[in-house]
Every structure is written in C-alpha cells, then in structure tokens.
A and B are shown apart, each in its own frame.
Chain A
Amino acid sequence: DAGITQSPRHKVTETGTPVTLRCHQTENHRYMYWYRQDPGHGLRLIHYSYGVKDTDKGEVSDGYSVSRSKTEDFLLTLESATSSQTSVYFCAIRENNPQETQYFGPGTRLLVL
C-alpha cells in the first residue's frame, strides 16, 4: 500500500463545468502523476510533478491543468469539462527504489454529460 487516496472516487458533471480531482499521499514521495484510462488505450500520462510547484506535461495534457502546493497533494483540474474527458483517472507516485516503480491510487471515475 503506497498510501495514495483519490477524491472523489466517482463524479458526474455537465459539459462546461470546472472539475478538480485530488490525489493525496502520506509517504512524502517527490514524484506524482496523473493518468487517464480509456478503452483501447491503456493508461496515458496527463501531467506529472517532480516537487512542490514543479510540474510538466504528459502526452495528453490538453484541457487539463495541475497544481502542487504541498508535497502530499497533487490536483488535476479540468477547466471546462468536455464529454471526451469522460474517463477513469489514476494518480500515481514513484517509489524511491532502483526500479522507480510507479504505484497507483484507486482511481476516480468521471462522467461528463
């Protein structure tokens, strides 16, 4: 258990509304990630963070922003949700081991109507 929680776990929202997903970790990991999972695509990286206020884009970052004001929290914001952002969102941390294994949170299921 990597001590990762995500909130909310499920959310239904309407097109055009802002949405913020939260990832919280308790073990002081430096690296945190947001992925989305869609059928036929596996998981794809949206954004990641390598420290407080240090973030970078992944391969599917359009329409998303992130913030990390403290080590334990990494927020993902959809400024104006679209139906194409209906997905399952996973947060991950990178373990400080030689393999640099990424461990995932339980996921947030988001439906944009």
Chain B
Amino acid sequence: AQKITQTQPGMFVQEKEAVTLDCTYDTSDPSYGLFWYKQPSSGEMIFLIYQGSYDQQNATEGRYSLNFQKARKSANLVISASQLGDSAMYFCAMRGRGFGNEKLTFGTGTRLTIIP
C-alpha cells in the first residue's frame, strides 16, 4: 500500500519569498514516481513536477524544484520567488512503476496563500 502525508493544511507566505511544501510518503514498491500538482481556485489540476525514485538529481522546472530525500521518504516542493498567482492548493502524489500500478495516491493537500 502507498501513503502520502502532507502535514501542512495551510501556509501563508510573503510575496517573493521562497516556500517549501512538505510531503512524506510510504511505499513497498522498489520503483516509483512522485508528482506535484497545483489546484487553483478555478478547480483544475495542473501538473508541476516529477521525480523518479532512481533519479540521481533533484527535479527542477522553472521556479519549482523537488527536494527529494529517499532515505527519509520525503519529496518536498520548493517554490522560489513566490508570486500572487502561486496561491492555490498543492497536492503531492505517488505511483508505483510497473504493470498494474495505475493508481495515483494523493495526499490531502496544502493550501498556500501568498500575501502581497
């Protein structure tokens, strides 16, 4: 079984500051992928960034980076230079690799509010 834990229900961050959203996971799969999605108030789910369990380097996508610590089973999302448009719900998710592993397991999310 897979489990994602996001312990920060809500965060308030000053505009232009960096923010770290926490995510810890648990799985027995030897190979897996970790994903972060953004859900703005309009409701759509937007893919942000991916980290594979065997990737040697932390993933980066523009202002988003993933602080992956495999031994600690953590996959924190870091947003640099936050903007007002970053205000949204953020979900961490994981999926085991291999045939039959189709389910994305989601955490309960963190609501990020950027303060001007």
Q: Do A and B bind each other?
A: yes
Decide if B104 touches A43 in the complex (CB within 8 Å): yes
**Do B47 and A103 have beta carbons less than 8 Å apart?**
yes
CA distance A101 to B59 in the complex (A): 14
The count of chain A contact residues (Cβ–Cβ below 8 Å) is 28
Chain B residue contacts of A98, Cβ below 8 A = 52
Given contacts A101-B50, A104-B44, whether A42 and B102 have CB atoms under 8 Å apart is no
State in angstroms the CA–CA spacing of A88 and B45 once bound together: 12
A90–B45 alpha-carbon span in the complex (Å) = 9
B106 touches A99 (CB 8 A): no
Query: Taking the complex as formed, is B72 at the interface, i.e. its CB lies under 8 A from any CB of chain A?
Result: no
CB interface residues, A 64-112, toward B, < 8 Å: 88, 90, 92, 94, 98-104, 106-107, 109
Q: Assuming the A-B contacts A42-B91, A99-B33, A101-B35, are A31 and B102 also in contact, with contact meaning beta carbons closer than 8 angstroms in the complex?
A: yes
**A residues near B102, Cβ cutoff 8 Å:** 31, 33, 45, 48, 50, 56, 58, 94
State which of B43, B50, B91, B93 has its C-beta within 8 Å of the C-beta of A99.
B50
A99 to B35, CA, bound (A): 9
* Total B residues in contact with A, Cβ cutoff 8 Å: 21
Q: Interface majority SS on A: helix, strand, loop or mixed?
A: strand
Which residues of chain A are within 8 angstroms of B63 by Cβ–Cβ distance? Answer: none
- List 29 A–B pairs whose Cβ atoms lie within 8 Å, in order of A's numbering: A31-B102, A33-B104, A35-B104, A41-B108, A42-B91, A42-B93, A42-B106, A42-B108, A43-B45, A43-B104, A43-B106, A45-B102, A45-B103, A45-B104, A56-B102, A58-B103, A88-B43, A92-B104, A94-B102, A99-B33, A99-B50, A99-B52, A101-B47, A102-B35, A102-B47, A104-B44, A104-B45, A106-B44, A109-B43
